[in-house]
Amino acid sequence: MISISSNLNIMIKAAEKASKSAIRDFGEVEKLQVSKKGPRDFVTKTDKHVEKILIEELSRTKKNYSFLSEEAGSIQNKDKDNIWIIDPIDGTTNFLHGIPHFAICVALESKKEIISGLIYDPIKDEMFYAEKNKGAYLNNQRLRVSNKNIINECLFSSNHEGVKFSSLNMRYSGSAALDLAYVASGRLDGFFHNKINIWDVAAGALLVEEAGGIVNDLDKFDQNNIDIRASSGAINDKMLENLKNF
């Protein structure tokens, strides 16, 4: 077992507890697909319930830390230098349609720097996590980005559906967080997206960097409208060349 900080330990436990609710509700989604109303309202409640559990669990021992979350927005507490960044369900559309590809995301920003990140895929029971200068891991196994350097042999992802990049082999998964986790683990070679929110990419960007990859201007991320480019170092220049007009 690798050594992890108390903050990351809290994040892992919070994500595991919140995942029980997400898994239970996901089991109900298939039953709602055939109803006239559909599962949209149900999934919105799931999103908020998962967020509530995360905030409660993270606050148990770090009572003064602030929050930034997709659903609740900004919650200012006494400690404004340390901020939990939460996306309760990244891949909501997948969840909505009964597609088992979504994740719970938590990152910790300390003095404007992302120092811990976690992406948990509860259906596959894959826990991706990283800490600044300590490496990236999947279920306690060290992660490294891909080392492929021939762009035609690489696989890229973007959540810009409908946008075609004829020179790149593309996949569209519906979860930016898991795409970044997959770049960190070498399953994908690169990920890019324009105008995305911080809670979608905070944890994943740290994972990629700690797995030896490159993320553009990670320290300059604002809360929203982020243009992100993440890849292995071996393919980064070639990917950026293909995206120069994007």
Give per-residue pLDDT as tens, 156-188. Answer: 998 765 556 667 888 889 999 999 999 999 999
**What residues are annotated to the active site?**
70, 87, 89-90, 92, 200
3-state secondary structure of 214: strand
pTM for the full predicted model: 0.92
Give per-residue pLDDT as tens, 182-237. Answer: 999 999 999 998 888 899 999 999 999 999 999 986 656 666 678 899 999 999 99
Closest residue by Cα to residue 25 from 91, 88, 93, 95: 95
Q: What are the chain's domains?
A: 6-142 (3.30.540.10), 151-242 (3.40.190.80)
Instruction: Give the integer Cα–Cα distance in Å for 167 and 32.
Output: 40
In sequence order, what DSSP letters do the residues of 109-121 get, joined into one string? EETTEEEEEEEEE
